[in-house]
Amino acid sequence: MKVSNLGYPRIGAKREWKKALESFWDGKLDAPGLEKRMKEIRLDHLQTQRLKGVDLIPVNDFTCYDHMLDMATMFGWVPKRFNHQGGPVPLQDYFAMARGKQDAVACEMTKWFNTNYHYIVPEYEEEMEFSLLENRPLKAFREAKEELGIDGKPVIIGPYTFLKLSKGYSSGQFENLLNRLIPLYIQMLGELAEAGCSWVQMDEPVFVADLSKEDMKLAKEIYNQFKRAVPEIHLIIQTYFDSVEHYEDLISFPAAGIGLDFVHGKTGNLDSIRKYGFPADKCLGIGCIDGRNIWRNHLQETIRFIQELDDFISPREWFLQPSCSLLHVPVRKDQETDLDSVLYRSLSFADEKLEELHLLKQALSHGSESISEQLNAAAEALDDLSTHEMRHRPSVRKHLKHLREEEFNRKSPFQIRQQIQREYLQLPLLPTTTIGSFPQTPEVRKARRKWRIKEWTQEQYDEFMQTEIQKWMQIQEEIGLDVLVHGEFERNDMVEFFGERLGGFAFTKHGWVQSYGSRCVKPPIIYGDIEFRSPMTVKESKFAQSCTEKPVKGMLTGPVTILHWSFVRNDLSKKEVAAQIALALRQEVQSLEANGIRIIQVDEPALREGLPLKKKNWNHYLEWAVRSFRLATSAVDDRTQIHTHMCYSQFDDIMESIQQLDADVISIEASRSHGELIQTLRNHSYKKGIGLGVYDIHSPRIPSADEIKTQIEHALLVCDRQLFWVNPDCGLKTRKQEEVIHSLTHMVTAAKLVRSEIARNV
């Protein structure tokens, strides 16, 4: 029996990784300095895992930006627009693909399955050469061996998952491209074998999705080729996030081991094992510790579960594992000194999860009595949490139980509301706006920090914030935007901000996780029933409205996004938790309206990411997700315009549900996938207000007015110009002031040019 880790958080306990990257991008650290710092962080992570008792320590799970981008650049998948000159991809080209540059837009970025991690989508282009420019797994293996004496387990994205998550080819090209990738994988594995590598973790999470029998047959032939070409490598095919779709096929693959998720795919995987058994000549990776949430494991229950498995299967060896890579959870909890003691004892971050795996190994190898003290401590901590007073608020439960159906519906249908709002708001054709946030400068962050540590009084903080709001209200007026926003300078994070003001949430000081690139977030912890306390956004929105005659949008984060971007209690269903959040937000929406805010945006960028990986489970999820949004937004008057914002990700799958949200206007992140979204809207017309993001805010490049004008014109081929809005892709929190002003000025100029052309042609 061995402890095997699937991946370790890259960012460091104090975000050392993030700081190194941003120092490099800011020119404060040169390329050799970055490489040196990254190596120090990598080796520290490996050493930590060894000290925690991990037997199979992952290597090549570390990256300078994203693991899918690493695979793409390793294979030479560099789009022509980046002018790569051949050979191993230098850092400047690598980061240009991720972030863009002035003369080349970045590669698309989208969600990693149903998580809040974003990966860079590999782009295939015709005539693209396939070659192994650099064997990154080999370098990682050698580094661990030479520097620390660790025989690491290289982690590699499997060929089927890599290609399925890539873009730029037709379905008819899939098998041919897969066959062209196989020699690169064989070369990679062969070089690892020559270096003395024994175990390789081949991540194939796509095997839990809705693949066909033909897909599995094709995938099996790939692994047959791997086995024939490099028989000395022990491959473990690793799945996660759900149960395997064609388990009976997968266990026949010529692999030394199969890794299964027994947390998020427990029922399906267990049913499959009971029905088909498990091969005696393969190792079984038991994903028994939740790699996506922060709750302590009920060790005694896990021990019983594994012992029950042992009663009816006898794999060659057992690997005790997290359910997935630990990149989705914070690094360690010992820095969280201010949490409620009951909550603190019930938490388990990455390092603690590795300790739990080691304890499980001890218990299963030497008997539960060998860790009786730890078993009792875990059970007691979880029992104390279950009876915590925050977990049971009778008023919240009663209100939800007695909701009426009319509370989920607007007073009038969209067509009537649209006319009322048009007359009331008096907006021009193709109204311009932003998604909500403006740059969080060092001065803004410093002010918030001073307020938090009580160096500033509330009055000083409010005065600073009002000055910042006034400044940006004036900038927006000068740029010529039609609907303004207050800028969200008081908000540390779009979810954390609201959680801090609602009952039922808790917050860490250092519980950071990677969202995309160097962007890290601190997800709130939902551990109790959620309760509205007092208005959360009215003060700033009301002040901003007093600074202008133009309408100001109130800005909220929606219930489904708050749910998905938090660490959620696991004693209630997500449906129940989302309804509690929606009920609280409903009162905030009403408070904004009562204070004169007549455009209210309730963002749901995570709606699509929460979609289950298996289509058979979609309807149930979408039904409660839509109802949560409608519960939060349906209490307002017809004159009040409800907006929502979403991030792009295959909206053709859920267009009907997006319609059912019944928002008056939806804005969608679209610049990196503009053509695909246009095609979606061609196939599924959208009959309410819509704004397609006309430029990419994740990149520092500034688009020209002509470029944005072209984006608008393409969108108007499929969107009703009477319903179309012009906006950036997303919030502008991470951009610099000069980038924002130039880009928005070009956006407004482009909108005015298109308006003029429409007027001339009427």
Binding annotation for L-methionine: 435-437, 488, 603
How is residue 487 annotated by DSSP?
A: B
Closest CA to 181 of 236, 233, 234, 218: 218
Residue 355, Cα to own-chain centre: how many angstroms?
A: 26
- Which one of 486, 674, 698, 746 is the catalytic residue? 698
Binding site, annotated residues for Zn(2+): 645, 647, 669, 730
Treating both helix axes as pointing N-terminal to C-terminal, what angle do 538-546 and 458-479 enclose, rounded to 10 degrees?
A: 50
How is residue 122 annotated by DSSP?
A: P
DSSP string, 418-478: HHHHHHHH-PPSS-B---SB----HHHHHHHHHHHTTSS-HHHHHHHHHHHHHHHHHHHHH
What tokens appear for 232 in the block?
């000395």
Those residues with Cβ within 8 angstroms of residue 409's Cβ, 6 or more apart along the chain or in another chain: 630, 634, 662
> What Rg, from alpha-carbon coordinates, does the chain have?
26
Those residues with Cβ within 8 angstroms of residue 7's Cβ, 6 or more apart along the chain or in another chain: 58, 61, 155, 324, 325, 326, 327
Phi, psi for residue 300 in degrees, rounded to 5: -65, -40
Q: How far apart (Å, rounded) are the C-alpha atoms in residues 367 and 364?
A: 6
How is residue 107 annotated by DSSP?
A: P
Q: How far apart (Å, rounded) are the C-alpha atoms in residues 531 and 628?
A: 15
DSSP string, 141-175: HHHHHHHH----EEEEE-HHHHHHT-BSS-GGGHH
Alpha-carbon torsion (425, 428, 430, 432), positive or negative:
negative
What tokens appear for 312 in the block?
């009816």
Helix (H, G, I), strand (E, B) or coil at 479: helix
Q: Is 698 a catalytic residue?
A: yes
Alpha-helical runs (H) found in 320-441: 341-345, 350-366, 372-386, 394-401, 414-425
Q: How far apart (Å, rounded) are the C-alpha atoms in residues 156 and 202?
A: 5
Binding site, annotated residues for 5-methyltetrahydropteroyltri-L-glutamate: 15-18, 111, 116, 519-520, 565, 609
Binding site, annotated residues for L-homocysteine: 435-437, 488, 603
Direct distance between the N- and C-terminal alpha carbons of the chain, in angstroms, rounded to an integer: 75
CB 451, CB 458: distance < 8 Å? yes
Q: Which residues participate in catalysis according to the annotation?
A: 698
